[in-house]
Amino acid sequence: MALSMLLPRLAGPGTGFVRAAVATSGLRNAVSRGGILGLTRRWASSAPTPEDIDRLKHLRNIGISAHIDSGKTTVTERILYYTGRIKEIHEVRGKDNVGATMDWMDLEREKGITIQSAATYAQWGDTNLNIIDTPGHVDFTIEVERALRVLDGAVLVLCSVSGVQSQTITVDRQMRRYNVPRISFINKMDRAGANPTRIIDQIRTKLKLPAAALQVPIGSEDAFEGVVDILTQRAVYNKGSRGEDIVYDEIPAHLADTVQAAREELIATLAEVDDEIGELFIEEKTPTEDQLRDAIRRATIARKFTPVLMGSAIKDKGIQSLLDAVIRYLPTPTEVKNTMLDIDNNEQVLDVVPYSNQPFVGLAFKLEEGKYGQLTYIRVYQGRLEKGQFAYHVKTGKKVKVSRLVRMHSNSMEDVDSVGAGEICALFGIDCASGDTFTDGTINCSMSTMFVPDSVISLSLTPKDKNSPNFSKALNRFQREDPTFRVHVDSESKQTIISGMGELHLDIYVERMRREYGVDCTTGKPQVAFRETATRRSPFSYTHKKQSGGAGQFGRVIGYIEPIDEDQQAELPHEFVNNVMGGNIPTNYIPACEKGFTDGLQEGFMIGHPIVGVRMVLQDGAAHSVDSSELAFRLAAFHAFRESFKASNPRVLEPVMNVEVSAPIEFQGSVLGSLNKRKGLIVDTETQEDYCVVVAEVPLNNMFGYSTELRSATQGKGEFSMEYKKHSPVLPNVQEELIKEHQKKLAEKK
């Protein structure tokens, strides 16, 4: 992944994903040089209008993220209900068979999980909210990444019993990568074993994020009644048939000391992360309610702190307070720094100016082909997008007419005439891929695109009806919608191969192909994305020569290959270095040498999988005045690489997954046994009430069929989730087996 592909948002410390380029020119320079179409336009007045400032003050773009099954969809359904967007609440997997509003795809309803995030728009008081419900299953991580890319803040939903789980950690890491401030909501306070204090401790220790409760629960488990608001010092209850009436009361007498202790803890935690409260703390002064609110907001937006709220979505408790907190403590679009790259100026990093009177810049972050046709979700970063206006697709330079502009509400929509900076909207019939930038044509800038993880699994796909035109139509659409879903045709077997982030990820597409396009397919055995790599430096000196009759070919390359450090490989999967001095290889042939190297990376000799983690250093060579050509050097470098790779003690790498299994405690032995059998390395075991949670690193190749095994080993009570961790060398005997298998396949083909 080239570094420029990773998006800069805020050059915050420790992100590790921020470009090294320094913004010096400012946006003004980029514009004054003229835009893509040479339509030089001067900046409008840079001072935003009071109306725009007021509009942005009352706008929040938030995501709701969590580990699978923590209750995101149930929480979102309540938010839509209380904000008046829906008239009735339908439960996920509810008896009424309607399903939650945000889980609108049939498949989601059947499986009871969110697989595609839906953007929705709602209003709470005088504030507009754009909410994206993000999927919790790791196979759909790209959806979470996209949501975090365009949102300014997030609600992290945690279960009151399970607390911080593997996906919570993944989501938290993604939020850090995109510098997203977050508030935490401990859901399921009605569950047996609910323990918010333990969950707050987990946020502090496992996520390393200073956290403190803003509320104290009144009663717990079945007897959970409501909360005490620590700042206002009053009890808050949800009454009415669906918790729509908020009733305030005195703090129950038996909780007075607990509330006092919780308030002290909140102040002490804030004192650590906020200077103003820190000073008051040292002077032993009591902060006022306003001082505390301001400090919570400052520290949350600075991502030094997460305020913790609690409730039970299913029992309709605590959601309105969560909405209040979203508006109080999460940032407006003007409080988040976003950047873009100035294409005409060496991709220098420029700050986005988040006001409507600037030239329009927007990012297409999600494509969806639903019942209304092709929809493209866009976040307007600066400027304004208006119906009837043209938008310019930066990558292709094409202009498209904005004929219809809508705001989405789950699966229904609302037409609007214009949307200002900071808003999220959707357009119809626009041809682009997710991650593409649009402008008004006066500037040539790109919001850098999103981090797309490598796929870990692939399988062959054959349509039963070979002549169906829908087969390739569906594959094209899925690829445009989801950059982690990839399709290629195997050059030898001529089979169509699909690759993605896990078995479920691919299963869903096979199923969608059948339901939405009427194409039944047979699938091959899933194949793990093995890689090959070098483990030691290996020199090369290779001459490609064909000088008998006709136009000859001559190219000589000398140098070495070596492994790239493991910790650099995520950002630098391979590298070509040119150290040729004195023109022994004319500079115009160097790109051809690099091409020969990348050709060689496509297929390793051991098992035919791509090669990663290798640097080729070209030191010397020779050329012939007549017979040398680009092709000759490309072939020389290709063969030189192949030969030196063979001598580099190569190893086969396999994807290793982080697997988290939870099951009733009596099955702990069977769970550990099942993971050991699959050569899992147990990294953590924890018991929570009568449940055990086991975390292990297991090769993906050993995980096939695990859900069936776990189900029978735990009487259907165990659950597991997994996500890609790293590629690691396979055991020597496995490597031998894989090589043998590959040789056999090659022999069969002959």
Ligand X SMILES: Nc1nc2c(ncn2[C@@H]2O[C@H](COP(=O)(O)OP(=O)(O)OP(=O)(O)O)[C@@H](O)[C@H]2O)c(=O)[nH]1
> Which among 351, 460, 381, 322 has a CA at the least distance from the CA of 151?
381
135 part of the interface to ligand X, by CB under 6 A: yes
Residue of 41, 58, 90, 93 that binds ligand X (CB under 6 A): 93
Q: Using CB under 6 A, which residues numbered 248 to 287 contact ligand X?
A: none
| Matching residue, tokens 């990839």 | 486
3-state secondary structure 34-64: CCCCCCCCCCCCCCCCHHHHHHHHCEEEEEE
Cβ 147 to ligand X shortest distance, Å: 13
> Which among 122, 149, 144, 141 has a CA at the least distance from the CA of 133?
144
187 part of the interface to ligand X, by CB under 6 A: yes
446 part of the interface to ligand X, by CB under 6 A: no
Q: Which stretch binds ligand X (CB under 6 A): 3-11, 72-80, 338-346, 647-655?
A: 72-80
With respect to ligand X, which residue has the nearer C-beta, 160 or 356? 160
The reply, when asked if residue 66 is annotated as ligand binding, is yes
Residue of 66, 89, 475, 722 that binds ligand X (CB under 6 A): 66
Cβ 203 to ligand X shortest distance, Å: 17
CA distance 392 to 380: 13
333 part of the interface to ligand X, by CB under 6 A: no
Binding mask 141-170 for ligand X (x = CB under 6 A): ------------------------------
92 part of the interface to ligand X, by CB under 6 A: yes
The reply, when asked if residue 152 is annotated as ligand binding, is no
Query: Strand 651-664 to strand 531-533: parallel, antiparallel, or no bridges (unpaired)?
Result: antiparallel
With respect to ligand X, which residue has the nearer C-beta, 237 or 281? 237
Cβ-contact 619, 579 below 8 angstroms: yes
With respect to ligand X, which residue has the nearer C-beta, 220 or 598? 220
Cβ 689 to ligand X shortest distance, Å: 14
117 part of the interface to ligand X, by CB under 6 A: no
Residue of 61, 65, 74, 117 that binds ligand X (CB under 6 A): 74
What's the full length of the chain, in residues?
750
Cβ 65 to ligand X shortest distance, Å: 9
With respect to ligand X, which residue has the nearer C-beta, 312 or 569? 312
120 part of the interface to ligand X, by CB under 6 A: no
Cβ 92 to ligand X shortest distance, Å: 4
73 part of the interface to ligand X, by CB under 6 A: yes
The reply, when asked if residue 189 is annotated as ligand binding, is yes
Cβ 424 to ligand X shortest distance, Å: 20
Query: Strand 390-393 to strand 445-446: parallel, antiparallel, or no bridges (unpaired)?
Result: unpaired
The reply, when asked if residue 455 is annotated as ligand binding, is no
| Matching residue, tokens 């090589």 | 739
Cβ-contact 109, 170 below 8 angstroms: no
CA distance 81 to 123: 11
| Matching residue, tokens 């008046």 | 84
Burial of 567 (0-12, 13-18, 19+ CB in 10 A): exposed
Q: For residue 61, how many other CB atoms are within 10 A of its CB?
A: 25
72 part of the interface to ligand X, by CB under 6 A: yes
| Matching residue, tokens 């007045």 | 45
In order, the DSSP letters of 123-190 are EETTEEEEEEEPP-SGGGHHHHHHHHHH-SEEEEEEETTTBS-HHHHHHHHHHHHTT--EEEEEE-TT
78 part of the interface to ligand X, by CB under 6 A: no
The reply, when asked if residue 135 is annotated as ligand binding, is yes
Q: Using CB under 6 A, which residues numbered 305 to 324 contact ligand X?
A: 312-314
Residue of 145, 152, 190, 482 that binds ligand X (CB under 6 A): 190
Cβ 144 to ligand X shortest distance, Å: 10
Burial of 293 (0-12, 13-18, 19+ CB in 10 A): middle
Query: Strand 424-428 to strand 538-546: parallel, antiparallel, or no bridges (unpaired)?
Result: unpaired
Residue of 52, 69, 436, 697 that binds ligand X (CB under 6 A): 69
The reply, when asked if residue 655 is annotated as ligand binding, is no
131 part of the interface to ligand X, by CB under 6 A: no
| Matching residue, tokens 């409730």 | 311
Beta bridge partner(s), residue 654: 728
Cβ-contact 504, 108 below 8 angstroms: no
375 part of the interface to ligand X, by CB under 6 A: no
113 part of the interface to ligand X, by CB under 6 A: yes
Kindly state the number of chain residues that form the binding site for ligand X, as judged by CB under 6 A.
23
Binding site for ligand X (CB under 6 A): 66, 68-74, 91-93, 113-114, 135-137, 187-188, 190-191, 312-314
Give binding residues for GTP as ranges: 66-73, 133-137, 187-190
